[in-house]
Amino acid sequence: MFESLKIQYPQYFIALCLLLGIFYALSLYFRNKKWKDHKSYVPTILGVLRTIAVAWIAYFLLVPILERFKQRTQQAIVVIASDASSSISEAMDSTSLATYQSSLKQLKNDLGADFKVETFQFGETIRVTESDTLDGMSTDISKAFEYIEEQYNDQHIGAILMATDGIFNEGRNPLYVANDLSAPLYPIALGDTTIKKDIVIKNLLYNKIAYLGDKHEIQADIQATNVIGAKSTVTLYKVVGGKRTRIDEQSVSIKSNDFFKTLLFKVSADAAGAMQYVVTVSGVANELSTSNNAKTAYIDVIDARQEIFIIANAPHPDIHALRKALELNKNYKISQYIAGEDIPIAKADVTLFHNLPSPEHNIDNLLSTLNKNKKSRIYITGPQTDLKSFNGKRTGLSIQGVIGQSNESQANVKSGFNKFTLSEKLRRDIGNYPPLLTPFGEYTLSSTADKLLVQKINGIQTQYPLLAFDQSQGIRTVYICGEGLWKWRLFNYLQDKNHQVFDELIKKTAQFASVKDDKRKFRVNIAKNDYKVNEEILLDAQLYNDVYELINTPEASLTIKNSEGKSYDYTFTKSNNYYTLNAGALTEGSYTYIGKTNHNGKNLTSSGKFRIESIQKESYNLTADHGLLYQLAEKYKGKVYLPNQVASMAEEIKTNNTMKPVVYQEKDNRMLMHYPWLLLPIILLLGIEWFYRRYSGGY
């Protein structure tokens, strides 16, 4: 360790400190008549004492810094990462597995005698607590590399040992992760590279949502290895109440040792609710594993499709543009009409009026039905709109103008809109889109309405609405004060080669209109609808009083029921002014839940559903990929070892140059004022001077 003193000022300031001390001493003792009766050396000694004391004080005022350097030695760290996925235990017999685990523990002890050893296990997650149980349901090797980089990026790693079979079924390819690792990697190649007999359902592809009455497909990908000439049957079952009902089956003839085939099953959504289907493939003789011969599909069949009616005064390109955007949402069923046709308006959930009312078509009867049922509506006004009739409908928007007269108005996003959020791209680009034809006149908008877009006419910014949203008396209303939306869609494609900006605007406009307000006073919410086995089921609940303030005074309970009718009862925990519940992990299957509470003598309930899917990724591929491990070892300048070579790893690793300790030089800067004892010489000097002056009568 060595040190030096530094100041933040030029070095000549030190000389100035000395000069200040000399000047101060001379002012006290030079030609001072008080000292003429003393020996000549006395004032000189006292002046020297005063000079040193004052110079030392002045030097302290320059805030000198003591710069210290010291060396620190850090021993090398050995990081041991072990694959804890179930493919390890399935591919190794119990004797081989026990021998390997014993050898690995001995290796840790051998290396731990000379180095710091850090261990963790990986599968679908990272586990720092070691266990002999290998039950991981998937393997993400890249996550292990990322963990090493995050945890040890500023430490001296001498070697990384990774015990795995090289099979990864989640995350990125480990060859393209952790390029900054400086320590050598020593893979321990577990598992068996022999390709054995096996037939599996590799994938099930299906839409997780289907609509009542629709037909949908379930695609099953069948893969078989080393079973050429065998025949198998793939069967689709529907599961209701825990009982399987065969729906369809197809035969498969395996014509190669590396066989793959895709089968399609057509299913009718004939009942609403959570439907469970199981696809199985019959096994073959001496098959490696049968746990991968079945896979489950969970499909929500919903009867919640909303009907959107588009009613136009006359054919118009806007209608096609709007329909294309709305059809992207599978929840919408779009019906298109020309005013004057027989329109079953009572079926509509949302009605879009284009240039209506017009001189030719009055829409009083349609609006009367919509108002009675409190159904949402969207008005698109243009040159064909009869403004006098439109204003008489009390829609919440009034335009005092003359039919047929119009302006060309560009859009400008109004700040402060909070009904929903828009992408930055839409906010940035919409102002450059072509102008719409808007009715000429004075606009008056309901005080409850919010403007999203306002009109920019001939470059002049106005506060006239171009797109506005209202929600009053239980009715949602949207105002689009201009026609020509088809130009926006074409311009979007011209600029970006897609319709994403236009589709986003129309989609969110329709979502606002189609949302049904939830006025329930008791609501139970689940974190998500799809869980994996071993995931915790998290729920929360809110209870509102008569003025819709959150409360949690009464107790609240929850009952979860599986498809076989078995029930699980829970009690919510009160947290702040709401309720929470962790239902723990449940087995695979479809579940429904119902929450219950009693407030002011009324029984309140809230229900929902979720499903839990098993993770079978480890069962689909049990052939070890040692080739990947050799590539990783080459990339990170290490060496691959087999399980029976683990005992010999310690000596070879110890001799590697990377295992030598690293000496770090550290700098520590501290201000001298942090060392109070350095003030003692000043006090001593001034004390001696004061004592002698006092003794000699100088004061």
Mind listing the pLDDT tens digit for each residue in 541-558? Answer: 999 887 778 899 999 999
* Other beta carbons within 10 Å of 684: 12
pLDDT of residue 1: 47
With beta carbons less than 8 A apart as the criterion, state whether 531 and 610 touch. yes
Which ranges of 472-604 does DSSP label H, i.e. alpha helix?
Answer: 485-496, 500-514
The alpha carbon of 270 is separated from its chain's Cα centroid by a whole number of angstroms, namely 36
Q: What is the DSSP string of 407-456?
A: EEEEEEEPTT--SS---HHHHHHGGGSPPEEEEEEEEEE-TT-EEEEEEE
Superfamily of domain 198-302: Immunoglobulins (2.60.40.10)
357: preceding bond cis by omega (within 30 degrees): yes
The rounded mean pLDDT for the chain is: 87
Q: Determine the pLDDT at residue 486.
A: 96
pLDDT < 50 stretches in the chain: 1-2
Cα dihedral 493→495→500→503 (10° resolution): -60
Give the 3-state DSSP-derived string for 205-225, with helices as H, strands as E and coil as C: EECCEEECCCEEEEEEEEEEE
**Domain 76-194+623-660: CATH superfamily, name plus number:** von Willebrand factor, type A domain (3.40.50.410)
- Numbered ranges of CATH 3.40.50.410 in the chain: 76-194+623-660
Tell me the pLDDT tens digit for each residue of 288-309. 778 788 888 888 887 767 899 9
pLDDT at 33 (0 to 100):
65
pLDDT at residue number 40: 67
DSSP characters for 362-417? Answer: --HHHHHHHHHHT-EEEEE--TTS-HHHHHHTT-SEEEEEEEEEEEEEEEEEPTT-
Domain 306-514 class in CATH: alpha beta
118: Cβ contacts below 8 Å, ≥ 6 apart: 77, 78, 79, 80, 151, 152
Among candidate residues 292, 158, 128, 301, the one with its CA nearest the CA of residue 216? 301
Q: 603 φ, ψ to 5°?
A: -80, 120
Cα dist from 617 to 58, 120, 124, 296, 656, whole Å: 75, 22, 10, 13, 37
Residues of the chain within CATH 3.40.50.880 domain(s) are: 306-514
pLDDT of residue 671: 78
8 Å CB contact between 159 and 186? yes
CATH 2.60.40.1930 in the chain: give the residue spans. Answer: 522-609
What confidence score (pLDDT) does residue 320 get? 96
The CATH fold assigned to 522-609 is: Immunoglobulin-like (2.60.40)
Q: Are 545 and 573 in contact (CB under 8 A)?
A: no
- Give start-end residues of each CATH 2.60.40.10 domain in the chain: 198-302
Give per-residue pLDDT as tens, 404-439. Answer: 899 999 999 998 888 888 889 999 999 999 999 999
